[in-house]
Amino acid sequence: MTSPRLRTDAAANRARILEVARDTFAAEGLGVPMSEIARRAGLGVATLYRRFPTKQDLVAEAFAEQMSQCAGMLDAALADPDPWRAFCRVVTEVCAMQARDRGFSAAFVSAFPDTAQFCALRERAEQGFAELIRRAQDAGALRRDFDVADLPLVLLANGGIRAGSPEATANASRRLVAYLLQSFRAEGAAALPPPTVIPLDTALL
Residue 130 partner contact from a copy of itself, DNA, none using kind-dependent CB cut-offs of 5 to 8 Å = none
CA atoms of 40 and 18, how far apart (whole Å): 11
Q: Does position 175 bind a copy of itself by CB under 8 A?
A: yes
Please name the residue ranges forming H helices in 29-149.
34-40, 45-51, 55-78, 83-100, 104-111, 116-138
CA atoms of 17 and 98, how far apart (whole Å): 22
Q: Does position 27 bind a copy of itself by CB under 8 A?
A: no
Shortest CB 185 distance to a copy of itself, Å: 7
Nearer to DNA, 21 or 125 (CB): 21
Shortest CB 101 distance to DNA, Å: 18
Count of Cβ atoms closer than 10 Å to residue 67 Cβ: 20
Nearer to a copy of itself, 18 or 159 (CB): 159
Q: Does position 113 bind DNA by CB under 7 A?
A: no
Nearest to 36 by CA among 58, 12, 11, 7: 58
Q: Kindly write out the interface string for residues 29-68 of this chain, putting x where it contacts DNA by CB under 7 A and - elsewhere.
A: --x-xxx------xxxxxx-xxx-xxxx------------
CA atoms of 121 and 73, how far apart (whole Å): 13
Q: Which of 2, 3, 8, 165 binds DNA (CB under 7 A)?
A: 8
C-alpha torsion 32→65→122→90, nearest 10: -100
CA atoms of 106 and 159, how far apart (whole Å): 9
Burial environment of residue 190 by CB neighbours within 10 A (0 to 12, 13 to 18, 19 or more)? exposed
Residue 159 partner contact from DNA, a copy of itself, none using kind-dependent CB cut-offs of 5 to 8 Å = a copy of itself
Q: Does position 199 bind a copy of itself by CB under 8 A?
A: yes
Q: Does position 85 bind a copy of itself by CB under 8 A?
A: no
Question: Binding residues for DNA, per CB under 7 A?
Answer: 4, 6-10, 13, 31, 33-35, 42-47, 49-51, 53-56
Binding site for a copy of itself (CB under 8 A): 29, 150, 153, 156-164, 168, 171-172, 174-176, 178-180, 182-185, 187-190, 192-199, 202-205
